[in-house]
Chains A and B, each alone.
Chain A
Amino acid sequence: MGTHERGRPTQREDESDTGGPRSVQSVSFTGAWIGFREAAPLALGVAGYGLIFGMLARDVGISTAEAALMSGTVMAGTAQFVAVGLWATPLPAATVIAATVVVNLRYVLMGATLRPWLRQLRTREQYASLFFTADENWALTVRRLSQGSAHGAYLLGSGLAIWVAWVAATVVGAIAGGQVGDPSHYGLDFVLPAVLLAVAVDLWDGRSDTLPWGTAGAVAISTSVAFSGQWYILAGGLAGAIVEVARRAD
């Protein structure tokens, strides 16, 4: 595929002459299976973190069943690590929930970018799929969108692969406790950055992306140095968007 063909999802809506399928296929087993299969290698990295999460949860007194419940219903790695870090007796309920929301603010933006594609699904299917959004399969789905091919159940299927790995690894980590090694020894902590970088190459639309992407990177790096927590993702993403809007307005 040539570089010039790499378009962004929202642009594609206006391009009826690209030859690719414009309308999203409905939620189907095939679409879900394609997503599941493509996310399976990334699930390895997710499992590495799941093991650690299970161990840490056990260390702070969260039972195996509770840790599994958290991984199964929250399904947001970073937020869960932050929650475990805040865990204490008595449980600071409001603090834990508020921190979870703040860490996950980035998903508002990420979900919004899937909208051109999701809106062709039934409401129920949209909102069910969104539950399974994680960084890994969001990136995969954005990549699929930019290629013009989109199976309606892709987000759901790829999310299920992540979900199974995350929940299973949480249980194993919680049972095994400290016997699990450090996932960075196996390079598992590099799986997410590697996937995001590869997807970024796919999304690269030419020189016009340099300014917004460069701004996003610079703002994210400086924010991550200046503030603790996850604000840098939101700050970088928004800064990139603002610069682009300002440039187009000129």
Chain B
Amino acid sequence: MPTNWGLDGTTVAVVLGMSLGTYAMKAGGVWLLERVKVPERMESGLSVIPGAILVAIVAPKIVQGGPPEWIGAAVVLSLAWRTGSLLVSLAGGVGTVVLLGSIV
């Protein structure tokens, strides 16, 4: 099947709708905070959101994975804790998952 480089009008319109909707979400948080004063007691909530979101994205993925992902996650955590290097943690974790995945 040859590569299709064509552009369909309806498809382009839907794609642009998707990009506008996505951008509204990406920019929406900053836009809102510029207009709404966050009460002081809410600020502590806002400050834990980065960590909470990280955990919320990762936890289900790890739990629903298998032993390679569980052990890979443990390797990442311990490497990150000891070395503080993103690259080392990443390489160790991905390497572990590939290695264990090929055995299992």
Interface residues of A (CB under 8 A from B): 1, 8-11, 38, 41-42, 58, 62-66, 69-70, 73-76, 79-80, 83, 91, 93, 96-98, 100-101, 104-115, 118-119, 126-127, 130-131, 133, 135, 139-140, 142-143, 146, 174-175, 177, 184-188, 190-191, 193-205, 209, 212-213, 215-221, 224-225, 232-237, 239-242, 244-245, 248-249
Contact = CB atoms under 8 A, between A and B. Distances in A.
A131 B72 contact: no
Which of A42, A100, A185 is the most central at the interface, judged by chain B CB atoms within 10 Å of its CB?
A100
A123 to B, nearest CB: 9
A133 B52 contact: no
Contact of B33 (A100, A107, A112): A112
DSSP class of B's interface residues: helix, strand, loop or mixed? helix
A200 B17 contact: no
A110 B18 contact: no
DSSP class of A's interface residues: helix, strand, loop or mixed? helix
B41 to A, nearest CB: 6
B90 A241 contact: no
A37 to B, nearest CB: 11
B59 A135 contact: no
A186 B91 CA distance: 12
Interface string B81-104: 100101101100111011001000
A73 B15 contact: yes
Contacts of A106: 25, 53
